[in-house]
Amino acid sequence: MLDRVESASARESSVPRELARSGSTVGHVRPVVPDDIPRVAELYAKVFGPRGAGALEGLREALRDVFFRHPWLDDRLPSLVYQAREGRILGCLGVVPRPMSLKGRPIQAAISHTVMVDPDSRATLATVEMIRAFLSGPQDVSISQGTSLSRRIFEGVGGSTSLLHSIGWTRVLRPSRYVLAFLRRRGLSAGVSAALAPLSRVADALAGRVHPFRFSSAGLSGEPLDSETLAT
């Protein structure tokens, strides 16, 4: 998704009606600060699944890296949280600034990631307000990747979808096993699948001699990377 920043008035008027009716403002959007990391990690675990104590600490470190330790830190383009009036963090939208160029002209891009809202607070406008704040930043181009729902929200506040970059490609290397896996997802019984598995392996071995399914040798070599080569 490629989003050119529009005027605030244009974005305000284009919010879908069903989103505008989904709740009332119960907090505000602000930049993430290092002290938020423990609460953001807990929110991440709540949204995406439970984690053990050790895994949660690793998640905190990963979020610190993503939010505060990457090489393109820019105070004008911080990651964002949606904080409730009583102080709870209800949502988070990560932002990574990236310097780019367009036809030789330097531009500032901002890439969003880790868009999440507390499942108990999704009736609020937290997602809409965080995305609107993200698109209102000083960047020349905003780039985001997400679900069909987040795409609708981005479009509702002024973004547009890059259809060419939204295409998913599949290259089939083992056609028989690919078809067998497809049939399993469509309800093929485990017994029939097990009976067909040896035949599919034989068929794939024969198909490997045909150009579209042939593995080509990489033709690459490797050697340890030293600091001088890396600097060059």
Instruction: Express each pLDDT in 153-191 by its tens digit.
Output: 888 888 888 888 777 788 888 899 999 999 999 999 989
pLDDT at 81 over 80: yes
Residues 141 and 185 in one domain: no
- What the block records as the tokens of 127 is 């997602």
Q: What percent of the chain has pLDDT over 90?
A: 49
pLDDT at 24 over 70: no
Residues 10 and 125 in one domain: yes
Looking at the domain assignment, is residue 219 inside a domain?
A: no
Looking at the domain assignment, is residue 82 inside a domain?
A: yes
Residues 201 and 123 in one domain: no
Residues 118 and 189 in one domain: no
Mean per-residue pLDDT, 207-215: 77
Hey, which bits of the chain come out as E strands?
Answer: 2-4, 27-31, 80-84, 89-102, 105-117, 141-143
pLDDT at 201 over 50: yes
Q: What pLDDT, in 10s, does the model give residues 38-65?
A: 999 999 999 987 666 678 888 999 999 9
Looking at the domain assignment, is residue 228 inside a domain?
A: no
Residues 91 and 10 in one domain: yes
| Residue 195 to residue 107: CA distance in whole angstroms | 57
Mean per-residue pLDDT, 191-218: 84
| Residue 208 to residue 139: CA distance in whole angstroms | 48
Q: Tell me the pTM.
A: 0.64
The model's confidence at residue 15, banded by pLDDT at 50, 70 and 90, is very low
The model's confidence at residue 105, banded by pLDDT at 50, 70 and 90, is very high
pLDDT at 2 over 70: no
Residues 141 and 207 in one domain: no
Which residues have C-beta within 8 Å of that of residue 116, sequence separation ≥ 6? 43, 44, 47, 48, 91, 92
Residues 55 and 92 in one domain: yes
Other Cβ atoms less than 10 A from the Cβ of 174: the count is 17
Q: How many domains does the chain have?
A: 2
Residues 155 and 183 in one domain: no
Q: Give me the amino acid identity at 97.
A: P
Give the pLDDT of residue 37.
95
**CA neighbor of 33 nearest in space, from 97, 120, 92:** 92
Q: What are phi and psi of 10, to 5 degrees?
A: -65, -40
- What the block records as the tokens of 110 is 């901002």
Residues 185 and 84 in one domain: no
> Residue 188 sits in which domain range?
175-213
Q: What is the CATH number of the domain that holds 94?
A: 3.40.630.30
